[in-house]
Amino acid sequence: MKKILSLVVIAALLCIAGASSVATAQDVALTLWVYDDGRLEVLNALGDQFEAEYGVALTVEVVDLSEIRNIMTLGAASGEGPDMIIIPHDNLGPLVENGSAAPIDLGDKVDFFLPNAIDGFTYDGQLYGLPLAVENIGFFRNTDLVPEAPTTWAEVAEVGAALFDEGAIDSVIGFPDLTYNAYPVYTSFGGYIFGRDETGSFTVDDIGMNNAGMVAGLTWIESLIEDGLVSENIDWEASHVLFETGRSAFIMTGPWAINRFDTAGVPYAISAFPAAEEGGEPGYPFLGVQGLVVNANKDNVLLAQLFAVDFLATEDNYQAIFDAEPRPSAWASIFESASDPNTAGFNEAGVNAVPMPSIPAMGYVWDAWVNAGALVAQGELTPQEALDSAVEQILAQVEG
Amino acid sequence: MRHINTQLSRYGYILNLGVMGVLLAGILRVVFQLYADGLYPLASALSAITVFLALVYLRRRFTPLRWFAIGVGLAMLFTLYPILYTFYLSVTNMGSGHLMTKQQAIDRLESQLYMPEGGKTYGWAAFRSPDEAYALWLLPEEGPGLLARPGQPLEEAMPGEDGIGAPDQDGIPLTIDGYERLAQNQVVPIISALGAIDFGEPPDTVRIRSLREAVTLKPKYQYDPDRDVMVDQETGTVYRPVEGTFTSDDGETLTPGYIVYVGLHHFERFLGNERFREPLIKIFLWNVSFAFASVFLSFAVGLVVTLLFEGLPGSRVIRALLIIPWPIPVLVSILIWRSMLNPDLGFVAPLLESLFGSSPAWFQNAMWTRVAVILVNVWLSYPYFYVISAGAIRSIPHEIYDAAVVDGASAWGKFQHITLPLLLRILMPLLIASFTFNFNNFNVIYIFNFGLPPMPNTIVPMGQTDILISFVYRLAFITSNVTDYGLAAAITVMLFLLISLMVVFQARFTNLFREAD
């Protein structure tokens, strides 16, 4: 009796083991990691559609961006991670440098996309991602205080100083930081972080961080602080609170602030950034591009590329993604048809936006840049000294 | 009796052997896996620990060691190994772009393909035989279709002839003898496997590149182990290994790179630079002062509070209120302090301005930021000292105070000669532990002001309120997309040596205290 029982058990176990091994051999599925959950639903719906059409299931998971980054670089050698990820493009450089991003060949479809979105996911002349959405900051003004958008920074200071003297405001313009959110000030004077080489890639060999334009931009900010028109305390939260309570006439910030400004009920409008001088080129912000990257370390590269290029990249799918979460689409016709005034304002502000450099050296820029701004705000160093020192810090770390 | 005993121990030995056997087999399995993944240091460490355990449990001579062998083994694995591994990393270039072993990087490069001159692009359809062999029907841009099978030359074939079925509207045969045509939804699930197959006879092989295209592809790079160089098969360029990256004579580099030994490079890079050394010493001094001031002031405040409220009416309520900072999560307390001190939004600035006419720059001025950080830390930790000193005071025998009163001691005298020395004796270990904790109190420093304001003219970003741990964290990990593990390890090693010195001093200090008893 016992013997028979054990035989039965063993036979059953073998069957289960055998069955499951057959099942795994047939089970091809794609995994996709996203770092925010805004698009989870629509991506799941698109995954079902993909399965119906092509017979392959798609699993979408929300994973912390830093975790995605770690798995895609440290786990590269052992082939860990999902088949595809959605990331902001400035994370691309290290993935390419570690051989973790597979090229994407969009063929003729490339013409449907915004050129600067494609530019964002291009590294060393090769496209490594399918751009989904773009994002840039805009120039906000309180329309009660300033009905007409100023066209030069000098005008911003002048209009603001008048309001300040009347006691209408406590701060002329909000700078959430003196780096990313203040970048258009620098660019309008001709500043930039990294220049491009002949292939169009950003390069450490051309570093603009202490050029005359950057210094001029920082000098303008310094003059506001010295005149007491802007607090020396450069603080994200404070700058937003001052604007939403009507105590600040301008702020430079992104789409994430829309909700809180609407809730606070402050009357605002978003427009293009001012220029350095009358008739000059307006300042341009960094462009952030979100896109889908195929993990080169997995066995399913071809399948994932097929999902991205042959399935996902259609106007209908992009429209569905845009409808689920209205961020400016990387699909040019959808981007252009956005009609609400906020989106139009951001688009106007970002019309010449340049993708944030994604080369690994960019990682060294932020801390050095933050420090340069702080040292100038505190009056410890002049803009030129502070930016020279920042460049030195970046190069010291790049050269390793 | 004696007989039974030996027998028992023999059974015991066999049991021991069996259990150890199973355990060792399990560990060996893990070790092999680690080797296969290229984690040699970890595999070696685990092997060494396993040998140690096996010796201890199988050799009778080492029986006394059994009591702590497991503990020692775990300590080696989780304490000693990470330290040694950090030392190892500090002399390598491991970091973004250099995360693989050389062999892994070579495999990666050798798997890259290119389309040679005269290579062709085809449309394709896949066919499968019952024994899972695949064939492709290739459609060139012009000319007749081709039948491609792995290892065989491409055959020109006409649909409708030689066992090849009639064509559909794209010119692809509906059937091929011995093969079944795969529909799109059959192809897609296996496309990655199909894409790994070379169709046709080398060197003219065709691979699937996308759902629509199959192209002539060849390996782009080949590694020459004799010369230790990577050769570009397309251009003939020779790439030599330079510091863990294959580099051509023109300075072109191939990614990914691999991990190599770089010696003391990281140490020289910074220790050799006085604009690194001097600020580092500043950080170290501030770190010690911060820890010392935090412990001293928290203890002092806690003690004063204890003495003030001891035996007062309603002291229970007061005590409950005083402990409030304790149960609030540290993160929340620090953020509340941060917003209270905010010059634009907080209430502290207007208050001080109305009282004194000006308010300090809590986040910009180095000295005031330091004051603020210590203030916040004291607020966070005084309830702890309050509670323990309130407890400890009760353990001081009352007779001593009675005797002191008889001798005519004042209140201050009692405190100075009885309470304080006796309390210190009881609380010294806690004070030292607290000092060690505050020495690495990352939370307060980093959440309050990220170690800022910055120090001017340093070679890497450093903050005026940075302590060693927050400085390393910012340098090695905060930069969002750069990870330089070699450098971080080198700095960690330097800090390890500094802190080891501290620990030795502390040990001395505690010993002295004991001798004084």
User: What's the CATH number of domain B2-90, 2.40.128, 2.60.40, 1.10.3210, 1.20.58?
Assistant: 1.20.58
CB-nearest to B364 from A233, A299, A389 is: A233
CA distance A305 to A106: 10
Query: Helix axis angle, B420-439 relative to B485-516, nearest 10°?
Result: 170
pLDDT of residue B2: 47
Domain boundaries, chain B: 2-90, 114-219, 273-516
CB atoms within 10 A of CB A176: 22
Interchain CB distance below 8 Å, B456 and A69: no
pLDDT of residue A321: 93
CATH class of B273-516: mainly alpha
Q: How many Cβ pairs within 8 Å bridge chains A and B?
A: 171
User: Is the pLDDT reported for residue B387 higher than 90?
Assistant: no
CB atoms within 10 A of CB B153: 11
Q: Comparing A22-31, B16-25, B297-306, which segment has the lowest mean pLDDT?
A: A22-31
If you measure CA to CA, which chain B residue comes closest to A90? B481
pLDDT of residue A25: 41
pLDDT tens profile B423-440:
988 888 888 889 888 988
B95 contact residues in A (CB cutoff 8 A): 400
User: Is the pLDDT reported for residue B478 higher than 70?
Assistant: no
- Judge contact between A129 and A295, C-beta under 8 A: no
Q: What's the ipTM?
A: 0.76
Closest among A273, A229, A223 to A248, alpha carbons compared: A229
A26 contact residues in B (CB cutoff 8 A): 189
Interchain CB distance below 8 Å, B210 and A306: yes
A310 contact residues in B (CB cutoff 8 A): 210-212
Interchain CB distance below 8 Å, A76 and B208: no
pLDDT tens profile A289-325:
999 999 998 889 999 999 999 999 999 999 999 988 8
- Does residue A109 sit at the B interface (CB-CB below 8 Å)? no
CB-nearest to A392 from B343, B459, B487 is: B459
B344 contact residues in A (CB cutoff 8 A): 170-171, 231, 233, 235, 238, 241-242
User: Is the pLDDT reported for residue A150 higher than 70?
Assistant: yes
Interchain CB distance below 8 Å, B483 and A73: yes
CA of A267 vs chain B CAs: smallest distance (Å)? 21
pLDDT of residue B91: 92
CA of A281 vs chain B CAs: smallest distance (Å)? 31
| DSSP bridge pairs for B9 | none
pLDDT of residue B517: 45
B453 contact residues in A (CB cutoff 8 A): 374-375, 378
CB-nearest to A301 from B185, B192, B483 is: B192
Is B273-516 in the same CATH topology as B2-90? no
CB atoms within 10 A of CB A315: 13
Average pLDDT, chain A: 89
Closest among B145, B141, B135 to B198, alpha carbons compared: B135
Domain boundaries, chain A: 26-135+287-354, 138-284+361-399
B100 contact residues in A (CB cutoff 8 A): 76-77, 98-99
Interchain CB distance below 8 Å, B364 and A56: no
If you measure CA to CA, which chain A residue comes closest to B262? A400
Interchain CB distance below 8 Å, B269 and A400: yes
pLDDT tens profile A221-243:
999 999 999 988 888 999 999 99
Average pLDDT, chain B: 85
User: Is the pLDDT reported for residue A216 higher than 90?
Assistant: yes
Higher pLDDT: B510 or B137? It is: B137
Interchain CB distance below 8 Å, B482 and A94: yes
A397 contact residues in B (CB cutoff 8 A): 460, 482, 484
pLDDT of residue B315: 74
Closest among B42, B21, B18 to B30, alpha carbons compared: B42
If you measure CA to CA, which chain A residue comes closest to B243? A400
CA distance B96 to A397: 13
CB-nearest to B481 from A231, A360, A375 is: A360
CA of A186 vs chain B CAs: smallest distance (Å)? 21
Q: Architecture of A138-284+361-399 per CATH?
A: 3-Layer(aba) Sandwich (3.40)
If you measure CA to CA, which chain A residue comes closest to B267? A400
> A192 pLDDT band (50/70/90 cuts)?
very high
Interchain CB distance below 8 Å, A309 and B210: yes
CA distance A130 to A177: 30
- Judge contact between B360 and B352, C-beta under 8 A: yes
pLDDT of residue A388: 96
* Residue A322 CB partners (closer than 8 Å, separation 6+): A133, A329, A331, A334
- Judge contact between A398 and A364, C-beta under 8 A: yes
The three-state (H, E, C) secondary structure of chain A, written as one string: CHHHHHHHHHHHHHHHHHHHHHHHHHCCEEEEEECCCCCHHHHHHHHHHHHHHHCCEEEEEECCHHHHHHHHHCCCCCCCCCCEEEEEHHHHHHHHHCCCEECCCCHHHHHHECHHHHHHCEECCEECCEEEEEECCEEEEECCCCCCCCCEHHHHHHHHHHHHHHCCCCEEEECCCCCHHHHHHHHHCCCCCEEECCCCCEEEEEECCCCHHHHHHHHHHHHHHHCCCCCCCCCHHHHHHHHHCCCEEEEEECHHHHHHHHHHCCCEEEECCCECCCCCCECCCEEEEEEEEEECCCCCHHHHHHHHHHHHCCHHHHHHHHHHCCCCECEHHHHHHCCCHHHHHHHHHCCCCEECCCCCCHHHHHHHHHHHHHHHHCCCCCHHHHHHHHHHHHHHHHHC
Residue A1 burial by Cβ neighbours in a 10 Å radius (0-12, 13-18, 19+): exposed
Interchain CB distance below 8 Å, B452 and A363: no
Is A138-284+361-399 in the same CATH topology as A26-135+287-354? yes
From chain A residues 75-104, the ones with a CB under 8 A of any chain B CB are 76-78, 90-91, 93-94, 96-99
pLDDT of residue A11: 47
pTM of the prediction? 0.81
Interchain CB distance below 8 Å, B256 and A98: yes
**pLDDT, average across residues A21-34:** 69
Give the range with max mean pLDDT: A239-253, B138-152, B193-207, B467-481: A239-253
User: Is the pLDDT reported for residue B484 higher than 80?
Assistant: no
CA atoms lying within 13 Å on the CB side of residue B505: 10
Q: Best residue in B269, B481, B484 to probe A by mutation, most A CBs within 10 Å? A: B481
Q: Comparing B93-102, B110-119, B164-173, which segment has the lowest mean pLDDT?
A: B164-173
Q: What is the CATH number of domain A26-135+287-354?
A: 3.40.190.10
Q: Best residue in A53, A83, A197, A233 to probe B by mutation, most B CBs within 10 Å? A: A233
Helix (H) or strand (E) holding B6: helix B2-36
| DSSP bridge pairs for A31 | A59
- Does residue A363 sit at the B interface (CB-CB below 8 Å)? yes
**pLDDT, average across residues A101-130:** 93
CA of B506 vs chain A CAs: smallest distance (Å)? 35
CA distance B383 to B303: 10
User: Is the pLDDT reported for residue A258 higher than 80?
Assistant: yes
**pLDDT, average across residues A334-353:** 89
pLDDT tens profile B199-239:
888 777 899 888 888 888 888 899 999 999 999 988 989 99
From chain A residues 246-305, the ones with a CB under 8 A of any chain B CB are 299-303, 305
- Does residue A388 sit at the B interface (CB-CB below 8 Å)? no
pLDDT of residue B481: 53
Interchain CB distance below 8 Å, A231 and B343: yes
A74 contact residues in B (CB cutoff 8 A): 99, 483
pLDDT of residue A23: 38
